[in-house]
A and B are shown apart, each in its own frame.
Chain A
Amino acid sequence: MSDHELRVSKIRDGTVIDHVEGGQALNVLAILGIDGSEGFGVSVGMNVPSDRLGRKDIVKVEDRELSQSEVDVLSLIAPEATINIVRDFEVVEKNRVTRPDGVTGVLSCPNRNCITNAGEPVETRFDVVADGVRCDYCATILRSDIADHIDV
């Protein structure tokens, strides 16, 4: 058993999001809308040693499986992440995230003058471009700061 697994105990049922870029674990929880009040068991490991990433974060959420739109946004802040679905202590499914073509309703546009920030009844929509996402409405491009604009 490796060092980092010792720090975060195994879960019976739920999701383990592994190989998250160091420092992004709390943003992963933000994407999932988890702040602790839901009653799910949540374990977070931050900056644990990783062969692949140097330092990585790991998030374990009990009794909760991820939807596709959650995985899509996750892929933007944690492109190397692996998603393990655990049932009865066994990993029954192991997936790498893939970049989606677009993300709807999860990010807020950083452009304060964008129509999506003007109180209109509209869901934000971003296209995924080379190294970031781009607002479908005002064309503003969001790069390294995606995590700051998660709106859940």
Chain B
Amino acid sequence: MRQDHLITATQLSRDDIEAVLDRARAVADDPAAYADRHAGRVLALCFFEPSTRTRMSFDSAAKRLGMNTIDMGDVDSSSVSKGESLSDTVRVIEGYADALVLRHPSEGAATLAGERVDVPVVNAGDGAGQHPSQTLLDLHTIREDHGLDDLTIGIMGDLKYGRTVHSLAAALTEFDANQHFISPDSLRLPRSVRFDLHETGAQIREHDELDPVLEELDVLYVTRIQKERFPDENEYHRVAGEYRIDAETLEAAADDLTVMHPLPRVDEIAPDVDETDHARYFEQAHNGIPVRMALLDTLLENAEAAEGTEVDR
């Protein structure tokens, strides 16, 4: 995998992750020092699927590095609606931008895009696959609260289709983390993610309810269970209700438990949790800015270095 793309969390070593997070911390401490770093450069936002926070967060991060951004707009109003392939779309956009952020409904879309273009590509979500930039900001949030080693984390909700879960679980294998996965039977981790976890010898356990593990946890990462994953609405309401937390649920938790969520939430975290010391999901979302600044800075730097190598040859 080229070091100027970020396609999947499985490509990231512990050193890669720590380097980006260290840089994110430096960015957060002194944003002015980064304000003009990539002035004159252009970031293309290519979202083939709706997105609010990821799109805006990359837009904001790029602008805070001095970059301009161009946005493909909604798929309905773009050439995609005329039947253009992703391969062609990214080849064209490559000529307009110095880096490309891609969200696409198909798994593997970012891998394909990365093979088609020379500029850095960031996977901002490919179907039920991966969402590695979210993972970096998740890790940043965890690291600020607890550090990333000797960590016990519970990941709850839709583990089957949740791309943030797939990326986070993979990245945590680089650290000394005990991972507990809590979900209904029908939404357990997919075979491919389980395979990677197994290959790394990661310590994982799976549960169908939160209660037995809650008090052990340093971090509880909650994800949304989507209605469209269930054939019938009653079944959805029954299952989703079982994986909903409120302030009362958290009374059994450790005092320093951090509750996270990639957002948007629907009702899996009751609003009364917002008022507890556990809630960290809004800070988590805000961490998207320094982390994505650090990520873009790193990828553009790596791309430059790669170009330099070519010249030397």
Could you list which residues of chain A lie within 8 angstroms of chain B, going by C-beta atoms?
111, 113-122, 129, 134-141
Contacts and interface: CB of A to CB of B under 8 A. Distances in A.
Contacts of B112: 115-116, 120, 122, 137
B51 interface: no
Contact of B127 (A113, A120, A121, A122): A113
When A and B form their complex, which 3 residue pairs have the shortest distance between CB atoms, in order from nearest? A137-B108, A138-B107, A138-B108
Given A138-B129, A141-B195, A115 B104 contact: yes
Determine which residue in A113, A115, A116, A137 has the highest number of CB atoms from chain B within 10 A of its CB, and name it: A115
Contacts of A138: 106-108, 126-127, 129, 192
16 contacts: A113-B106, A114-B106, A115-B107, A115-B111, A116-B112, A118-B106, A120-B86, A121-B85, A122-B87, A134-B195, A137-B108, A137-B111, A138-B106, A139-B196, A141-B191, A141-B195
Interface string B106-118: 1111011000000
B105 interface: yes
A120 B85 contact: yes
Contacts of B105: 113
B128 interface: yes
Nearest to B111: A137
A58 B85 CA distance: 43
A141 B107 CA distance: 13
Interface of B: 8, 85-87, 104-109, 111-112, 126-129, 191-192, 195-196
A150 to B, nearest CB: 20
Nearest to B8: A139
Contacts of B128: 113
Contacts of B107: 111, 113-115, 137-140
Nearest to B191: A141
Nearest to B108: A137
A89 B191 CA distance: 47
B169 to A, nearest CB: 13
A139 B163 CA distance: 13
Contacts of A140: 107, 191-192
A40 to B, nearest CB: 36
A117 B105 CA distance: 12
A44 to B, nearest CB: 33
Given A138-B127, A139-B129, A115 B109 contact: yes
A122 B114 CA distance: 13
Contacts of B191: 140-141
A118 B86 contact: yes
B93 to A, nearest CB: 15
Contacts of A136: 108, 111
Given A111-B107, A113-B127, A129 B85 contact: no
A71 to B, nearest CB: 26
Contacts of B87: 120-122
A116 B108 contact: yes
A115 B116 CA distance: 13
Contacts of B195: 129, 134, 141
A113 B126 CA distance: 10
Given A115-B112, A119-B85, 10 more contacts: A111-B107, A118-B86, A120-B87, A121-B85, A121-B87, A137-B108, A138-B129, A139-B8, A139-B107, A139-B129
A115 B7 CA distance: 14
A134 B112 CA distance: 16
Determine which residue in B109, B112, B127, B191 has the highest number of CB atoms from chain A within 10 A of its CB, and name it: B112
Nearest to A129: B195
Nearest to B129: A138
Contacts of A117: 106
Contact of A141 (B8, B106, B129, B192): B192
A107 B111 CA distance: 18
A120 to B, nearest CB: 5
B193 to A, nearest CB: 8
Nearest to B107: A138
B108 A114 contact: yes
A83 B134 CA distance: 49
